[in-house]
């Protein structure tokens, strides 16, 4: 995880331009909002990154806790949302100090692929403690064993074509090929799970899980799971 944190904490080519960044934020926000149980809900967004959607989500909930491991990203995020009394920003280590049953909804999107199985097991147990008995844990963007870099690239090109940045997406993919991202992906790899394996993993952590009908975000070859405490 440390190598991936360092990568995301630095200048990187994940977003090909500002339009891509905005479209991604809108899609993730749309995906999260549909799981909100009420306008008074307390939400934890774990591994939120820049969370460009934070203000939009905060308008729909009682309180939003953003948790990010990359220190520079976290500092910039905290500065950006400092004026919004509904939003707080925390490091992962701070979650241990929170009381049991703190959240109605926990979302972890596009993070599990960068964690070892042992790291995600520990997180799922922590989330189980932090969720209220009637709460929900939404786990998004799980990479399947058969998932490929080519499939991810094609999904980005389709997103670009549908949203006016196809040319930038092509150039962005070329930049990524020469970037640390591909070298890190080849060296460290991504942690992958089939549907049955993830259902079992969530079950061992004390959840009753099911696969969602669609994935949060634009890569529909990946998986989202809905897990409730049992």
pLDDT at 1: 66
Expressed in angstroms, the distance from the first to the final Cα of the chain is 29
Averaged over 184-198, what is the pLDDT? 90
Centre a 10 Å sphere on the Cβ of residue 157 and count the other Cβ atoms it contains. 16
Q: Are strands 103-109 and 87-90 parallel, antiparallel or unpaired?
A: unpaired
Residue 215 token pair: 């994935």
Longest dimension (CA), the chain: 48
Q: How confident is the model at residue 189 (pLDDT cuts 50, 70, 90)?
A: confident
Token pair belonging to 157: 């090109």
C-alpha span between 64 and 165 (Å, rounded): 31
Task: Check: pTM over 0.85? Answer yes or no.
Answer: yes
pLDDT at residue number 183: 79
Quickly count: other Cβ atoms within 10 Å of residue 104's Cβ. 21
Q: Tokens in use for 8?
A: 């995301």
| Per-residue confidence (pLDDT) for residue 210, from 0 to 100 | 98
Total domains present in the chain = 1
| Whole-number percent of the chain with pLDDT over 70 | 100
Q: Quick one: CA dihedral 201, 202, 206, 209, positive or negative?
A: negative
The CATH number of the domain holding residue 191 is 3.40.50.150
CA distances from 63 to 41, 84, 139 (A): 7, 10, 20
CA of residue 2 relative to chain centroid, distance: 17
Q: Is the pLDDT of residue 114 over 90?
A: yes
| Residue 110 domain boundaries | 2-229
Contacts of 167 (CB under 8 A, 6+ apart): 160
Distance, in Å, from the CA atom of 44 to the CA atom of 41, rounded to the nearest integer, reads 10
Q: Which pLDDT does position 176 carry in this prediction?
A: 85
Contact 225, 124 (CB under 8 A): no
- C-beta separation of 82 from 101 below 8 A: no
Q: How do residues 45-96 score in pLDDT, each as one tens digit?
A: 999 999 999 999 999 999 999 999 999 999 999 999 999 999 999 999 999 9
**For all residues of the chain together, what is the average pLDDT?**
95
Q: Of the given ranges (125-129, 141-145, 183-187), which has the lowest mean pLDDT?
A: 183-187
| Confidence (pLDDT) at 38 | 96
Instruction: Give backbone dihedrals phi and psi of 74, rounded to 5 degrees, phi first.
Output: -65, -40
Q: Sorting pLDDT into bands at 50, 70 and 90, what band is 34?
A: very high
């Amino acid at each position: 995880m440390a190598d991936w944190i360092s990568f995301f904490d630095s200048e990187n080519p994940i977003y090909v331009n500002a339009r891509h960044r905005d479209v991604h934020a809108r899609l993730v926000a749309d995906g999260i909002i549909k799981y909100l149980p009420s306008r008074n809900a307390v939400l934890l967004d774990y591994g939120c990154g820049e969370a460009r959607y934070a203000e939009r989500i905060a308008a729909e909930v009682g309180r939003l806790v953003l948790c990010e491991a990359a220190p520079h990203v976290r500092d910039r995020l905290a500065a950006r949302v400092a004026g919004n009394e509904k939003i707080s920003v925390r490091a992962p280590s701070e979650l241990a100090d929170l009381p049991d049953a703190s959240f109605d909804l926990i979302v972890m999107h596009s993070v599990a692929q960068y964690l070892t199985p042992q790291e995600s097991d520990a997180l799922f147990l922590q989330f189980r403690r932090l969720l209220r008995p009637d709460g929900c844990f939404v786990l998004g963007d799980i990479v399947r064993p058969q998932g490929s870099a080519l499939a991810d690239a094609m999904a980005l090109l389709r997103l670009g074509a549908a949203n006016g940045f196809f040319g930038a997406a092509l150039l962005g993919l070329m930049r990524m090929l020469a970037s640390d991202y591909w070298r890190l992906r080849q060296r460290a790899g991504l942690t992958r799970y089939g549907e049955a394996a993830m259902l079992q993993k969530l079950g061992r952590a004390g959840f009753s899980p099911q696969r969602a009908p669609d994935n949060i975000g634009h890569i529909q070859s990946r998986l989202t799971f809905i897990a409730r405490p049992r």
